[in-house]
Structures are given as C-alpha cells and as structure tokens.
Amino acid sequence: MNNVKEFFQNSLKQYKDEAKAVGWGSKESQEVRFDVLIDIGTINKETILDVGCGLGDFYGYLEDNTVKYTGYDILEEMISAAKKKYPKVEFTTEFPDKKFDYVFASGVFNIDTPKLEKIRRKMIYKMWEHCNVGMAVNFLSVYAKNKNNISYYTDPIEIIKYISLLTNKWVVRHDYKENDFTIYAYR
C-alpha cells in the first residue's frame, strides 16, 4: 500500500490539480471513465460516495447534477487539494459510516501493490455494504494491448466471480476504452 501512496504523492507534486495527478493520461480520458460510471443509473438528487476521490474531479464532473457528494481518499494530501478545489464539498480520509445511494471508485485498483487482490476484495465488499442502489467500479483490463510495469491489470472474469458472490444483478462494460472495463453491481 505504501507504493500506492508514494505514487500518488509524487504525482500530486508533479501534476498539481491535473488529471495526471490521479493517474489518468488526460482530463478527456478521465471524463470518458466518468461518463461510463454514471451510466449505472439516474444520478440526480442521489447520495454519492466517491472512493479514492483524489482531487474531487468526479464531483466537478457531477456538479450540474443535484447530488449529495462525499469524497473519500486515504491520502491527506489529496483531500487537502480537493478541499481547496471544492471548498463546499465533504471530503474525508475516514471511510464514512453511513450508506449512500451509489458508491463509485475510479482507478483505485490500478497501481500494482503487494496483496492488491486481498485489499481489492475487502474494499469492494465495504463499498457494497455502503450502497443502497448500486456501485460502479472501473479497472485496467488484462486484455489491454499496451501495458506498463506500474499498473495492475485485472481480469474481468475474476471481478465477475467476486461480484456474483454479492449480487446476481451486475453489468460489465468493456466497450469504451481498449484498456478499461467497468462493472455495475445493483441491489
């Protein structure tokens, strides 16, 4: 987990409040992922938890919607930067102890780290326990043609197997970027 923190601390120092600070190639690629995340359902007047919120850019993307947003991240530096960017929004380094209509995670499982699969299962379960309607999570896919040695590439089949233990209502999207997939899980 330390190399994940170190990666994002270094990225934040280097890229400040750009999408690259949270590991995305560009703001446009980040927004393509956001477009897919919100396809989970009607995101209007809903409570939202953004796990691994980074700089709070998902809130900025959703700003036109009337959502009640909470951003959670393990890095205090990210939370501080997000609060500066969106001062009226709730951001926290403590996982909230309440339920939300939707729980989202974008890119939080993409940096290779020891025991990532165990950490990922635990976090997905925690996200599931905190959603009332559904959750959407994106990953880098093992089917990506161009890979690097920092990123972790996930097999969609493994995620489907795990999500199927939680619910039989899920959808996988592997059609929007060659190296990504998103899973929606519903209550």
Per DSSP, 150 falls in state S
| 141 φ, ψ (degrees, to nearest 5) | -95, 145
Q: Is residue 152 a contact partner of residue 140, using CB atoms and an 8 Å limit?
A: yes
Asked whether residue 39 carries a pLDDT value surpassing 70, the answer given is yes
Q: How many CA atoms are closer than 13 Å to the CA of 21, on its beta-carbon side?
A: 19
With both helix axes pointing from N to C terminus, report the angle between 2-15 and 76-85 in degrees, rounded to the nearest 10. Answer: 40
The pTM is what? 0.88
3-class SS of residue 120: helix
What integer pLDDT is reported at residue 67 of this predicted model?
A: 87
Q: Is residue 47 a contact partner of residue 68, using CB atoms and an 8 Å limit?
A: yes
Does residue 174 or residue 20 have the better pLDDT?
Answer: 174
Residue numbers of the domain that contains 40: 2-186
What integer pLDDT is reported at residue 27 of this predicted model?
A: 74
Please state which of the ranges 9-18, 74-83, 115-124 shows the lowest mean pLDDT: 9-18
Q: List all residues 6 or more positions away from 87 whose beta carbon is below 8 Å from its beta carbon.
A: none
Beta bridge partners of residue 72, listed in sequence order: 51, 92
Q: Is residue 162 a contact partner of residue 124, using CB atoms and an 8 Å limit?
A: yes
What integer pLDDT is reported at residue 174 of this predicted model?
A: 97
Which CATH number belongs to the domain containing residue 9 in this structure? 3.40.50.150
pLDDT band, very low/low/confident/very high, at 8 (cuts 50, 70, 90): low
Beta bridge partners of residue 102, listed in sequence order: 48, 134
* Tally of structural domains, the chain: 1
| 14 φ, ψ (degrees, to nearest 5) | -75, -45
